[in-house]
Structure 1
Amino acid sequence: MASKTVERDFPLHWLVWHNEVEKLDVEIAKNIHDLELVDPRGRTPLMLSVTLGNIESTRVLLRHGANATAENGAYWTVLHESVGTGDPELVQMILQCRDCQRYNKRTVGVPELLQKLKESPDFYVEMKWEFASWVPLVSRMCPSDTYKVWKSGSNVRIDTTLLGFDNMTWQRGSRSYIFKGTAGTATVMEVDHDQKEVYTEVMRLADVTQPLQTTRPSEEAVAARLTSPIVTTFIDTDKISFERNKSGIWGWRSDKTEFVNGYECKVFSASNVELVTKTRTEHLSQQDKEKCKKVIKTPLESFLGVAEEHTKTNSMSNGSITSVSYNPCDISAEDYFNKYVDLEGRDIGRPKEQTTKTQKFRGTLWLCEAFPLSLQEQVIPIIDLMAASNAHFKKLRDFITLQIPAGFPVKIEIPIFHVLNARITFGNIFAMNQPVEMVTCVGEEGKMSCVVNEACFEVPPTYGRLGDAHHERLHDEDDELLQFAIQQSLVDAGSENDQVTFWEALNRTQPSATGFGEDEDRQLQRAIAESLGKMEPAEIIPTDILQPSRSLSEEDQMRLVLEMSQQEQDDAERQRKQEEEELEMILKLSLMEK
């Protein structure tokens, strides 16, 4: 592609490539160019500028409102690419602008969502979240929670008791999130019922002509990103297909239906669901890489790695390179902007050191066409409200907005992490099954609805007011939760001090609980026994595992535990299938006799 053609088709990209800052400023000011135009390699002008390490061009683009939250086709964001350069000034600039744009987007989005909800019928519904894992040690510490949702007009209230993780411990409490909409504004309240405190934020439609003044990220926050791997986790939706589940055997197989909370549902499987985790480390020093290996590569993850597909790529990695180059392959502008030129794995930017892990799952959907809620009009806006600060809701939204078959997803099973699945079930619609305070169930001509008392959206006058809402920032790498889950302690049924953590048992360190005097082998035995159930170790664990040899590595010991637990699950599944086949046979014989 000739230079003149590139300059005509991608004028801003061309100026960014050559870092012509003054001309770039003038061209953008003309307001005739698309700031978010994507080049043949999938980059916006800002993404290109950051990848090339052009600080001044980046500053100009951000000043004119370029999208700092943009993501390319490989699921890397502008912030990810800035960290990859290893330049702290660039990271700080992008981080500050990204947070500003996120706030502006939320300020515009929440009032619009509430206005959309105002036009839909009122309702009450409960969303039960259950987390499960095929790994028994992780499964035992997986919690559950029920989100209670009230909606009346443009007012929404969501109650939860599972707040998240803090210092490797599940956070529990009683918390309400209340959204109240009026013309052009929205009041957002986070109510802490345990502390009897409320954080309040009044959101107005953002004035894009007045840039928002945001706090400059601290040097510690920037340093933390530059000394940690760059990680992105996403569900690959390209190959997903939905198939109707079947029941019965031989010629008796038919479409499977199940009742969920009183509603007859068609059961579908989402096959070829791939959860992909990509990690980059090109910006890390050798010391940081070694440190990350010690923290991340636990014995449990080593075992889990057997079930994962690993792909490691080092783009043009060369040990002789002593200085940072943002075009190490000497790609010409003409070749870069010509979509017909195969770069053969070459790329601009710092040479990538990337590892990809892919885990395949089967999602499951229970769909009901008679469910009295609208997914698009009533439920998705609620999920959007929560997705701004809750990574699990963001994953749920990504999944249910696929082209799923007709019907309301009364129950959904989706992967959250490599070893963790979430099951979400909708129930007690309109408080029909169980009475709920401030909700009156109404039945008119066979059609059910409800009336929600407006007092539901008011905060008790005795609660303290603490100003701006205390909304936690959505984690960029929400799979940090997996790290916490793996390290979460396994508490036995004994006293508060009589406990041992899985992390301590594997690493043979002294437990944090005081007064715990068992030796290291005994700690490991207790962790193994915990993974296999609340039975005496002598009943279920062979002697050679109860008294592990010093020659056995921790990873081998863990492998034995998981293999035995998996065998137990396989036996249970085999027995269930056998019972189902026997039932089908009895049914068939009874019909033949008639």
Structure 2
Amino acid sequence: MASNGEPFKLHKAVFHNDIRSLKACLNARGVDVEERDCHSLTPLLLAAKLGRLDCAELLINSGAKVDAKSDDGWSVMDEAVVYGDRELVEFFVKAGYNQATTDLKELKPKLEEALKKVPDFTLVFQWELSSWIPLLSRVLPSDVCRLHKCGSHLRMDATLQSITDLRNRRGDLSFFIDCTDISHVIVADNIRHVKEVLKPQLSSKYVTESTSLRLSKDVVHSFISTQPIELIRCRSGWLWRVDKEECVAGYSCPVYDITGVTLIQRRRCEHLTEEDVKRLKSLREKMKRGDGDDVDDEDGDAAAAAAAAAEGESGAESSDGSALEVPFRASRPAPVTTATWSDYVNSASGGLPDNVGRTPVVSQDRRQFKPTVALSDKFPIPRDLLLDILELFTPYKHFHKLRRLVSRLPPGFPMKVEVPLYPTITLKLAFQEFKTCSHPASMFTVPNYDTGHVFPQQRR
């Protein structure tokens, strides 16, 4: 709570859009910009919910975290999107991008510490997002990657270059990281002999299209509940059933089903028009039926764009192989907040009062599923150390969901994991080879290629 006996001073200033009071509160000694009010909202979450752009700018400049979430799981960006103001969403796109850059720098000490504790090695692993739906199965990516470590240097060789015509475009790519400076990654195309420095870049085109895409689709919050979970040993055979084991990367691994895991998916659509809701509902129904041939080009492109945007990617392509152009999306009329501050702070037990921002329109799906994991207690490197290293290369944010699940498992390294992320999408990760070895320094020297674009650029 705030000082001087009055609770939630920052929130009150945001609620009334009182910039002078907010500045005074932020300048006070001992102020907590991440304080939670009676509805579990930080001041920045409340600013996003009420469309207070000026307040949001002050809070961000004072160190407020743009990745904050309410107890219900809705993020600052989620609240900004459902409010429907384009300028507000654009601001949080930029703020989120800048915070991601800072988070990457903060990862450096953790990565350096992990590298000191492991010998030089080569690791081969395969990852894929798979689906039983024909259209999605063609779009979703996969790859076999080879990760090499020598001192503070990492190199990963991969083949997935882009997604074209609803298919994965393959190449021969090498990523180079000097872990004494992880602010950028150098990627080399060994077929076209070009290299590119991958730096966080915040172009106006990225901001414009990312904002339009967010405003044109529903907000989705998915999380995996693992409380409580239980491991059940898988068995095989007909007459004489025995405990199942798999040989993964040369290690004999007992295989377990994990029970008690529930996927919960919640959607909000109060910012969408009736036409938007009908279009998205129609597309989801087609995809649930697996009618890949019945999805037209526009819907297929929209699905690919949505998948890319959800992962923070900006290189999605349409069915003709060119980068997607996202139609401009204007702001929605601002909702009217008629509730008073007294209504807000006195309604904690019954939830938010009516007419605070846009009235939530929430749907929820729950589904229990059984991930499968093959564990080895003979793997020579502790799993947390190797996961620290792999996190730098993992191209999809779902790695964090996988990591949270793995952290709940008993001792042993997960050599093979299959996790249903969504009702139609499963993440599969399997290690194929691991060996400690020395590498020549030349292996980690960036090739002297011409500078160019390794990945497809968005058309202008």
TM-score by length of 1: 0.62
Question: Retained in 2: the 8 A contact 1:110–1:385?
Answer: no
- In structure 1, the partner of 2:437 is 450
| Alignment deviations for residues 28-69 of structure 1 (CA, whole Å, 9 cap, x no partner) | 123511111222322111001111222221221122221122
Question: Retained in 1: the 8 A contact 2:125–2:431?
Answer: yes
In the aligned structure 2, how far is the partner of 1:202 from the partner of 1:284?
34
In the aligned structure 2, how far is the partner of 1:470 from the partner of 1:382?
24
- In structure 2, the partner of 1:381 is 388
Higher relative contact order (CA 8 A, sep 6+): 2
In the aligned structure 1, how far is the partner of 2:168 from the partner of 2:239?
49
SS state at 2:102 partner: helix
**Cα 1:30/1:239, change in 2 over 3 Å:** same
How far has the Cα of 1:408 moved from its partner?
A: 0.5
How far has the Cα of 1:367 moved from its partner?
A: 0.8
**Cα 1:231/1:86, change in 2 over 3 Å:** same
In the aligned structure 2, how far is the partner of 1:366 from the partner of 1:220?
41
Structure 1 residue corresponding to 2:220, chosen from 214, 231, 241: 231
- In structure 2, the partner of 1:396 is 402
- In structure 2, the partner of 1:59 is 57
**Cα 1:376/1:248, change in 2 over 3 Å:** closer
SS state at 2:217 partner: coil
In the aligned structure 2, how far is the partner of 1:4 from the partner of 1:426?
51
The answer to whether the aligner puts 1:460 opposite 2:457 as a matched pair is: no
> Which residues of structure 1 form unaligned runs of 5+?
204-212, 305-321, 431-448, 473-594
In the aligned structure 2, how far is the partner of 1:52 from the partner of 1:250?
61
In the aligned structure 2, how far is the partner of 1:274 from the partner of 1:164?
32
In the aligned structure 2, how far is the partner of 1:4 from the partner of 1:145?
51
- In structure 2, the partner of 1:571 is none
In the aligned structure 1, how far is the partner of 2:60 from the partner of 2:207?
19
| Alignment deviations for residues 236-292 of structure 1 (CA, whole Å, 9 cap, x no partner) | 224351313153799987754443333222222212333333332211223333443
Question: Retained in 2: the 8 A contact 1:413–1:423?
Answer: yes
**Cα 1:45/1:160, change in 2 over 3 Å:** same
| Alignment deviations for residues 534-558 of structure 1 (CA, whole Å, 9 cap, x no partner) | xxxxxxxxxxxxxxxxxxxxxxxxx
In the aligned structure 2, how far is the partner of 1:22 from the partner of 1:243?
56
Question: Retained in 1: the 8 A contact 2:84–2:334?
Answer: no
**Relative to structure 2, which stretch is displaced further, 356-365 or 368-377?**
356-365
Q: Which amino acid counterpart does residue 371 of structure 1 have in structure 2? A: F
In the aligned structure 2, how far is the partner of 1:297 from the partner of 1:270?
28
Q: Which amino acid counterpart does residue 214 of structure 2 have in structure 1? A: R
In the aligned structure 2, how far is the partner of 1:65 from the partner of 1:344?
26
Q: Which amino acid counterpart does residue 103 of structure 2 have in structure 1? A: K
The answer to whether the aligner puts 1:365 opposite 2:373 as a matched pair is: yes
- In structure 1, the partner of 2:269 is 281
Mapping 1:74-473, distance limit 5 Å: 74-110=72-108, 112-134=110-132, 144-182=142-180, 188-200=185-197, 215-216=203-204, 218-232=207-221, 234-247=222-235, 256-294=244-282, 296-302=283-289, 324-325=334-335, 327=337, 330=339, 332-334=340-342, 336-337=344-345, 341-343=349-351, 348-377=356-385, 379-387=386-394, 389-400=395-406, 402-430=407-435, 449-461=436-448, 463-466=449-452
**Cα 1:345/1:160, change in 2 over 3 Å:** farther
**Cα 1:392/1:164, change in 2 over 3 Å:** farther
In the aligned structure 2, how far is the partner of 1:98 from the partner of 1:202?
15
Question: Retained in 2: the 8 A contact 1:126–1:429?
Answer: yes
**Cα 1:218/1:459, change in 2 over 3 Å:** closer
Q: Which amino acid counterpart does residue 385 of structure 1 have in structure 2? A: L
Q: Which amino acid counterpart does residue 380 of structure 1 have in structure 2? A: L
Identity of aligned residues (%): 28
In the aligned structure 2, how far is the partner of 1:145 from the partner of 1:375?
21
How far has the Cα of 1:85 moved from its partner?
A: 0.8
**Cα 1:107/1:253, change in 2 over 3 Å:** same
- In structure 1, the partner of 2:309 is none
Question: Retained in 2: the 8 A contact 1:244–1:255?
Answer: no
Question: Retained in 1: the 8 A contact 2:156–2:174?
Answer: yes
Question: Retained in 2: the 8 A contact 1:257–1:266?
Answer: yes
In the aligned structure 2, how far is the partner of 1:24 from the partner of 1:426?
52
Larger radius of gyration: 1
In the aligned structure 2, how far is the partner of 1:107 from the partner of 1:470?
24
> Which residues of structure 2 form unaligned runs of 5+?
292-331
Question: Retained in 1: the 8 A contact 2:373–2:414?
Answer: yes
Question: Retained in 1: the 8 A contact 2:138–2:166?
Answer: no
TM-score by length of 2: 0.78
How far has the Cα of 1:350 moved from its partner?
A: 0.3
In the aligned structure 2, how far is the partner of 1:372 from the partner of 1:116?
14
- In structure 2, the partner of 1:49 is 47
In the aligned structure 2, how far is the partner of 1:458 from the partner of 1:471?
24
Question: Retained in 2: the 8 A contact 1:244–1:256?
Answer: no
Mapping 1:514-593, distance limit 5 Å: none
Question: Retained in 1: the 8 A contact 2:259–2:370?
Answer: yes
How far has the Cα of 1:221 moved from its partner?
A: 4.0
Question: Retained in 1: the 8 A contact 2:127–2:430?
Answer: yes
SS state at 1:266 partner: strand
**Cα 1:167/1:249, change in 2 over 3 Å:** closer
Alignment length, in residue pairs? 417
| Alignment deviations for residues 12-42 of structure 1 (CA, whole Å, 9 cap, x no partner) | 1222222221121122123511111222322
- In structure 2, the partner of 1:318 is none
Q: Which amino acid counterpart does residue 196 of structure 1 have in structure 2? A: H
Q: Which amino acid counterpart does residue 408 of structure 1 have in structure 2? A: F
In the aligned structure 2, how far is the partner of 1:392 from the partner of 1:11?
36
